[in-house]
Chain A
């Protein structure tokens, strides 16, 4: 019994625990990096503290190759862990079993993968217990029950505390402290042992040469087997997987493991051989696996021996705690939660924690009991068998990210085949003793057990791989499997599909989630909204999809893939399966914008092209909106954002009906209309009218719709100004005629007024007053007519009203007669008579009378100017369904062919220079278009061999 060493060991254990607490409380970023690597280092458990010295004695330098292989997974983590880590950012796997279940789908996968992991890690549990048992035997005499009970109680206490405060973080600190203690123990033990036994390193080197140990350790006979088994096991070791893909580990920290972890393993393996040789030199009776504390104790260094013993206690406890909790989580996620009615559980978190503790406790206690029957076994053997078992999960893991053709059936059959062989040939013989079988016809029996461990470990792995490939090749894969296989591929970027949700608001989602999750639904939704920076008012389909994805991710981390899938299917089902929906283009854009620099080769070039096209679209001076089949906005370019004041991020993913007014009405009305383009649509923005032209067209490769908006306000205002100017010019032309027209009644009034001065009879005075009134009425009519015409502020502000076409035409004729060059009354009457108005006074169209007057004045004026011989100009009309066709026909010179195609363009005229501005027909065209009508000119005139007919088409008034 070595009470001093025991006391010192427990002192160091206490110091390690204190160190763990201090690092977790006061540690900065630097210590967090160290924490990660030390925790990974301690994840190997008692292998480095005990097993490697035994392995070094048994396999020489092959041990180094095995340990190096164990670190290779981190050196090449960009090929293995990073792809899973990237997928984990979206799906968030709780464990390796969850990842495999997600990839291969189905409860059977979860059940078998979880069972395999539990069975394969049992030897690792036993190895830790054996290391502790061996330590107990060295430190204390007598029965080890008390020690075993103390250790189990400690583990249960740590597990309970870890579950209470957060498993991952809490255990990581304990493991880091254990790793630090182990590294110190190995280095110091080797140093003091070499100094005490050889007198120095030089002397040890000489002893190594003299004793022939140099040649002994150089043997590499088992190197290949050890290399492959350690390498394969490192992929599937739960501690490695959970730490590297943990979301609390930053990408940079994960990158540090590529060199820091191999460095720590190197530092830990350097003392192994000096310790081994020290023990061999003094011919220690202790087993090789006890050298870490036995040799310093033999060299009279109880402090160092205590340190070694403490490091073994701490790493063994740390690994037992973390492994038991990880396995408990896997059992819960794979076996219990998928069958549990979660909404019936009042306090789900507490229920989960309680079950985690119970399951982990059962695992620990079972293994402690099992440990009683393996006393005297080698820790190295337990690790070799355990690693060979863990290696069975590696083919499936690698297939998940590199081989999309491996099917669920292939994975399951391969795993069962490999695991069965491993169980029969290695695991069971290790526990219950080797056995052999004489195959019929064979010369020698097959021996199952550690004697042929290399053969059986390889055979089991080979059976697994061959069966997986064979079954996958012969059998097929359903659509779901193919979809998830593609999703997990190493070069895949996860893009959520543009799925149709069955809920239209966050509140609906919450209410539905409550049915399966109870009160936990509120917590989950609140958390997700907080993370996404959204709120309960959100109704945009794209945002709701993001919320659903985030909920799925959060639930997967809490309850595992199976339970989360069930909850989502029951509470938030999709209207159509995700794989039938197109990818969310907006999400592709977002993902490529973030991860574009990962692309290489042609993908990178294509991405540059994408960025260029995106910039072109964004910077086009016209607004572009792309709409999905469901009416969801997929693209909202920066010009559109400028026009509307609605940010692209807010609009993208929303429905048109979610847009604020007036855009919602304007766009929705245009989308509902049959027409593909609309010009000069007036929209009130901040109290000012803007005019937009809209166009729409369907995308050829999808059902998406593209909407183009162009601000035509400047153009419309210019046109409006030109129309006003043209009208004012007309007013100017009319002014002389008006003055003359007013002059006649004024003269009449003056004469009557002179007569009135001498009139005394009441009857005559009244008669004169009537005459004056009639003359003033005439003046009023003329002035009012001019005023009406000169008012131009209403152009493009359409308030269509029932208008009598005949009244408007007659008013135009009246005004035109004022501008007649012949200013005598007779001439004016003749001018009026030139226009033959055949319009029905009862016919009314929906129009603006002032703009219509201007149209008539221009057209009649052109007709009159073209009719030099005073030939009649006929104004007639005919119904054309719901529209009225107005025809203005003259017998003039007709239209010259040279300008036939450009009649409605500005500054195009057939008149002599100085006779016309060339704006008349352009103004008419714009006014008619603005009034919702159409105009065309044809020459010769209808039913004639000369002249011109102007054909106007307007909507009849509904009444």
Chain B
């Protein structure tokens, strides 16, 4: 069945997290490695989501 939780996460990411994170990541005064920090956080979130999800929940 359609995984509503994943869709909700996708909508939340695209509408809230991505604009904020991208603005922070490429601030002119920011460090060059900020985008990697954002990426690492997403990987961590994916790990947490995956840990609680069974494969059949699609």
Binding site for B on A (CB under 8 A): 61, 64, 68, 75-76, 78-79, 82-83, 86, 205, 208, 213-215, 217-218, 220, 251-252, 254-256, 258-259, 262-263, 266, 269-270, 273, 490-491, 595, 597-601, 603
Q: Mostly helix, strand, loop or mixed at chain B's interface?
A: helix
Task: Please determine whether A78 and B43 come into contact, CB atoms closer than 8 angstroms.
Answer: no
Bound form: Cα–Cα A599–B43 in Å: 27
Bound form: Cα–Cα A894–B54 in Å: 78
Task: Please determine whether A266 and B36 come into contact, CB atoms closer than 8 angstroms.
Answer: yes
Q: Contacts A78-B6, A259-B46; is A215 near B1 (CB within 8 Å)? A: no
CB-CB under 8 A from A255, the residues of chain B are 50, 53, 55
CB-CB under 8 A from B15, the residues of chain A are none
Task: Please determine whether B58 and A75 come into contact, CB atoms closer than 8 angstroms.
Answer: no
Bound form: Cα–Cα A418–B19 in Å: 31
User: Would you give 19 A-B contacts (Cβ < 8 Å), ordered by A?
Assistant: A61-B35, A64-B39, A76-B6, A76-B10, A78-B3, A78-B6, A79-B58, A205-B32, A220-B26, A258-B47, A266-B40, A269-B39, A273-B32, A491-B1, A491-B2, A598-B1, A598-B58, A599-B1, A601-B1
Q: List B residues 20-45 near A (Cβ within 8 Å).
A: 22, 25-26, 28, 31-33, 35-36, 39-40, 42-44
Q: How far is the CB of A548 from chain B (nearest CB, A)?
A: 26
State which of A68, A83, A214, A215 has its C-beta within 8 Å of the C-beta of B58: A83
Q: Count the A-B residue pairs with Cβ separation under 8 angstroms: how many?
A: 85
Q: How far is the CB of B7 from chain A (nearest CB, A)?
A: 8
Binding site for A on B (CB under 8 A): 1-4, 6-7, 10, 22, 25-26, 28, 31-33, 35-36, 39-40, 42-44, 46-47, 49-50, 53-58
Bound form: Cα–Cα A269–B35 in Å: 11
Task: Please determine whether B32 and A208 come into contact, CB atoms closer than 8 angstroms.
Answer: yes
CB-CB under 8 A from A254, the residues of chain B are 55
CB-CB under 8 A from A82, the residues of chain B are 55, 58
Q: How far is the CB of A280 from chain B (nearest CB, A)?
A: 13
CB-CB under 8 A from B53, the residues of chain A are 78, 255
Bound form: Cα–Cα A263–B39 in Å: 8
Residue of A with least CB distance to B50: A258
Task: Please determine whether B31 and A78 come into contact, CB atoms closer than 8 angstroms.
Answer: no
Among B7, B28, B43, B47, the one with the most A-chain Cβ atoms within 10 Å of its Cβ is: B43
Residue of B with least CB distance to A277: B32
State which of B7, B28, B36, B42 has its C-beta within 8 Å of the C-beta of A75: B42
Bound form: Cα–Cα A273–B32 in Å: 9
Bound form: Cα–Cα A218–B24 in Å: 11
CB-CB under 8 A from B6, the residues of chain A are 76, 78-79
Q: How far is the CB of B18 from chain A (nearest CB, A)?
A: 10
Q: How far is the CB of B38 from chain A (nearest CB, A)?
A: 9
Bound form: Cα–Cα A220–B36 in Å: 15
Bound form: Cα–Cα A203–B17 in Å: 32
Q: How far is the CB of A666 from chain B (nearest CB, A)?
A: 43
Bound form: Cα–Cα A227–B33 in Å: 19
Q: Contacts A76-B10, A78-B6, A599-B1; is A258 near B46 (CB within 8 Å)? A: yes
CB-CB under 8 A from B22, the residues of chain A are 220
Residue of B with least CB distance to A598: B56
CB-CB under 8 A from A601, the residues of chain B are 1
State which of A214, A266, A595 has its C-beta within 8 Å of the C-beta of B43: A266
- Additional pairs, 7, CB under 8 Å, beyond known A64-B39, A79-B6, A220-B26: A258-B46, A258-B47, A258-B49, A259-B44, A266-B39, A266-B43, A491-B2
